[in-house]
Amino acid sequence: MKPLLRAVLILDALLLLAFGLLFLLTPWTSLYNALLLVQTQPALVGQGFGVALIGLAWLALHASIDGALTSTVAKVVGHVNWLTGVLMLVWLLGLHTPALTGFGQIIAVLTGVVLLVVGLGGVRLSGAVRRREKVRLVEATAAERAEKQAAKDAAKDAANKRDSGRVTAGFPAYRTEPVVEPVMPVTRPVSPVSAAPLHPVVAEPGLTASERAARAETAAARDDARNAAADAPGAPRPPFHG
């Protein structure tokens, strides 16, 4: 779309340059008579208008090269062209002024139609190009914002990871394991009576075998009586220690 608009601008520049040179040569009476054109009076006005058209032609040519000025200059030049074409058609066809011969009037009407078509085409193309440029600008801005946001998110994630690494390095992690309580064996209290030997060994020298046997029987009977008294209900028990 934009290359086509640049081609239209080049065409506008050529048309404006041709008309500018023609008006700049207003004092050349023989040229106007040969072309069957009406000479502008006074000549100063025609030459001033010619200089303005040449300047506008240079601007259109420069805009066809510089992309930043293409759509704006094309819009301005397009409006100038189609308005000029409308004025020419109104004066030539509606008011029949100036009075031209048949060939001159045909050339003037065709020139007005060309200016009208080229001007409106340039305005439409410049509007389309400007809309596309706005859409591209919005998309580029959105993409740039998305890139900045992604960069911020990445930097934030990196900072969080770095902070977590510092915390881990400064404070080592401890593993929690279940504490197993030791099981204490259940012990029953031992009675001092039952802890005493039932049959103490009699090791007195000078005793005969019968005396030792009698003493052993006596000690056994005494132990049995002591155990029976301790196991009897209501009997006093020694205090529990440990």
Q: Are residues 124 and 222 in the same domain?
A: no
Q: Average pLDDT, whole number, for the chain?
A: 76
36 within domain boundaries: yes
Q: Are residues 95 and 207 in the same domain?
A: no
Q: Are residues 207 and 106 in the same domain?
A: no
10 within domain boundaries: yes
For the whole model, what pTM was predicted? 0.54
User: How many domains in the chain?
Assistant: 2
Q: What is the pLDDT along the chain (242 residues), one digit of tens a residue?
A: 778 888 888 888 898 898 889 888 888 888 877 877 777 888 888 888 889 989 989 998 988 888 788 888 888 888 988 898 898 888 888 777 776 677 777 887 888 888 889 888 888 888 888 888 888 888 888 888 888 888 888 888 888 887 776 655 555 555 555 555 555 555 544 444 444 444 444 455 566 777 777 777 788 877 777 776 665 555 555 554 44
pLDDT value, residue 231: 59
180 within domain boundaries: no
pLDDT value, residue 202: 47
Provide CB contacts within 8 A for 139, sequence distance 6+.
none
pLDDT value, residue 180: 57
188 within domain boundaries: no
Instruction: Tell which of 106, 136, 166 closes a domain.
Output: 136
Domain extent for 206:
199-231
Q: Are residues 126 and 31 in the same domain?
A: yes
Q: Are residues 6 and 86 in the same domain?
A: yes
d(Cα 203, Cα 197) in Å, to the nearest integer?
15
Give the pLDDT confidence of 200-229 residue by residue, as tens digits. Answer: 444 555 667 777 777 777 888 777 777 766
